[in-house]
């Protein structure tokens, strides 16, 4: 326990000017006193972890402690791959439903199909209340080369069939959609900045350029960030040589500058970046860089506002501390980190404050102090200290928002309806719509399908509201189509189905086609 605490101190690069008797010796003495004299038995490892978490809370909201058991899961999110069987699944009616199998992955090789239900794992029942994420993770994940036997119940086939699957590396894609919106405009959506993201992004760009892409809509909405070096690599794709992308500095971290090298593949052409209140960290590095150099128009809503750099440090027991070591700054000198001096609790309630103040529906509700005002080479005003403010603000789309629609989603009724519909009609759907394009062009959510959904909702004690349903019906139809597309094909087809009516994407297309805003900023 003392080694764990001392590691926090000894790993520092620079000497500290403080009295050790009032810090590490004091802490060590307290642990020793508790261990020797406290009246009841104690869990010293737990006390130590609590102390570490409390210390980090005193620093900033993004310095965090990760217990040993959670390190692997946390790293997987950014590593871009994990060891497993290669399925997308969902817990449906207390059973494990296979939504999709990874192409070329272990499950596909073993013969698992979309729509299969996994009812046993290594002979153990996989159903009921115990079927949660921890159970699934513990039973299906495992080291590459190890085997797992699953019992499959397949629609139309009596009994349970056993399949033995050899686990392998499973890639997790971060570019979930890359396609042409029209003959000249491409669309790419990136969900996080993980290890393989640069390669995925450049591959997507190459594919779209081969299809004639001259303009790009780059969707970073909801992208909470990831590796800073990946953000730098992707920003580099848009900028000419020797342009500052980002620089970092901290009390014990010398200034480090990161500039473009001129090797990017999309240094010309109209570029629009989409952001919202969920776009953070690495997303803000990219959008800040292209905004500061007048390379792109930013459309959407004000981003999250995280301008701090974390580095991982392992502790002796295998746990990890992600410690904030520096702030990062956009090329104009903006630090977009929003204030956190009033405590972590208020910091994490920022979205509630934005909603209360009307910031998601009215740009005039957003206030930036003049002291944080900066200017780009083209003369447009940008601000630091609270995220990236878009050039074109678009409010949250509330045209379809009703309590009735929200309850359909919240109670999982739409999801259950779509899963059951696919389960009953999978063969017909696959035969009629053999690929995503044929589905997008020809599948229609008609009145009968919506009526069947409403009937299911009433069985689930959600009473039909005619007025609210009328307001939501248009969006609901596309939402159902998107959910079916996701299970039948992949995330890209699902995204395409929703982009057809997405006001932010439609506005971006309009801006690119008109070119007026680009000319006004002397960018193209």
Catalytic residue among 219, 292, 294, 391: 292
**φ, ψ of residue 138 in degrees (nearest 5):** -70, -30
- Helices 228-236, 282-292: crossing angle, 10 deg rounding: 30
The verdict on whether 281 is a catalytic residue reads: yes
* Residue 225 near residue 306 (C-beta atoms within 8 A): yes
The verdict on whether 168 is a catalytic residue reads: no
Catalytic residue among 114, 233, 283, 306: 306
* Residue 334 near residue 291 (C-beta atoms within 8 A): no
**φ, ψ of residue 127 in degrees (nearest 5):** -160, 170
Distance CA 388, CA 274 (A): 11
Q: First-to-last CA distance in the chain?
A: 60
* Residue 494 near residue 482 (C-beta atoms within 8 A): yes
Catalytic residue among 114, 195, 279, 281: 281
Distance CA 98, CA 84 (A): 14
Q: Where are the alpha helices (DSSP H) in 316-465?
A: 344-347, 350-356, 403-410, 413-432, 436-442, 447-459
* Residue 489 near residue 436 (C-beta atoms within 8 A): yes
Distance CA 411, CA 61 (A): 32
The verdict on whether 41 is a catalytic residue reads: no
* Residue 223 near residue 280 (C-beta atoms within 8 A): yes
Q: Which residues are catalytic?
A: 281, 292, 306
């Amino acid at each position: 326990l003392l080694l764990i605490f001392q590691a926090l101190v000894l790993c520092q690069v620079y000497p500290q000017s403080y009295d050790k008797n009032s810090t590490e010796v004091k802490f060590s003495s307290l642990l020793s006193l508790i261990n020797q004299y406290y009246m009841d038995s104690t869990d010293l490892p737990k006390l130590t972890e609590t102390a570490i978490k409390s210390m980090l809370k005193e620093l900033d909201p993004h310095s965090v402690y990760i217990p040993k058991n959670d390190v692997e899961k946390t790293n997987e999110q950014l590593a871009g791959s994990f060891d497993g069987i290669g399925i997308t699944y969902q817990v449906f009616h207390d059973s494990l439903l296979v939504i999709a199998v990874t192409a070329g992955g272990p499950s596909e090789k073993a013969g698992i199909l979309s729509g299969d239900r996994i009812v046993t794992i290594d002979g153990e029942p996989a159903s009921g209340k115990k079927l949660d994420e921890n159970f699934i993770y513990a039973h299906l994940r495992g080291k590459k080369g190890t085997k797992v036997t699953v019992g499959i119940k397949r629609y139309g086939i009596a009994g349970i069939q056993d399949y033995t699957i050899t686990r392998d590396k499973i890639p997790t894609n971060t570019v979930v959609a890359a396609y042409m919106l029209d003959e000249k405009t491409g669309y790419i959506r990136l969900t996080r900045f993980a290890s393989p993201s640069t390669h995925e992004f450049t591959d997507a760009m190459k594919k779209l350029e081969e299809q004639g892409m001259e303009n790009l809509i780059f969707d970073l909405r909801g992208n909470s960030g990831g590796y800073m070096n990946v953000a730098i690599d992707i920003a580099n794709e848009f900028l000419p040589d020797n342009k500052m992308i980002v620089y970092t500095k901290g009390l014990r971290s010398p200034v480090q500058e990161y500039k473009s090298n001129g090797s990017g593949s999309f240094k010309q052409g109209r570029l629009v970046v989409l952001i919202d209140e969920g776009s953070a960290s690495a997303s803000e590095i990219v959008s800040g860089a292209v905004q500061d150099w007048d390379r792109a128009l930013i459309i959407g809503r004000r981003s999250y506002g995280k301008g701090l750099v974390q580095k991982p440090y392992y502790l002796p027991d295998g746990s990890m501390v992600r410690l904030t070591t520096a702030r990062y700054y956009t090329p104009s000198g903006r630090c977009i980190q929003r204030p956190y001096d009033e405590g972590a609790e208020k910091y994490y309630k920022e979205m509630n404050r934005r909603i209360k103040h009307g910031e998601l529906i009215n740009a005039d509700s957003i206030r930036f102090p003049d002291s944080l005002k900066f200017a780009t080479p083209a003369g447009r005003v940008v601000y630091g200290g609270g995220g990236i403010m878009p050039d074109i603000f678009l409010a949250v789309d509330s045209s379809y928002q009703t309590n009735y629609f929200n309850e359909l989603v919240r109670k999982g009724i739409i999801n259950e309806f779509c899963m059951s519909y696919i389960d009953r009609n999978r063969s017909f759907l696959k035969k009629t719509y053999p690929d995503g394009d044929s589905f997008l062009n020809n599948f229609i959510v008609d009145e009968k399908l919506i009526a069947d959904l409403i009937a299911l909702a009433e069985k689930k004690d959600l009473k039909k509201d005619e007025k609210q349903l009328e307001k939501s019906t248009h969006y609901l139809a596309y939402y159902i189509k998107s959910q079916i597309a996701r299970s039948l094909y992949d995330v890209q087809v699902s995204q395409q189905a929703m982009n057809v009516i997405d006001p932010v994407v439609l506005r971006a297309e309009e801006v690119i086609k008109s070119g007026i805003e680009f000319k006004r900023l002397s960018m193209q």
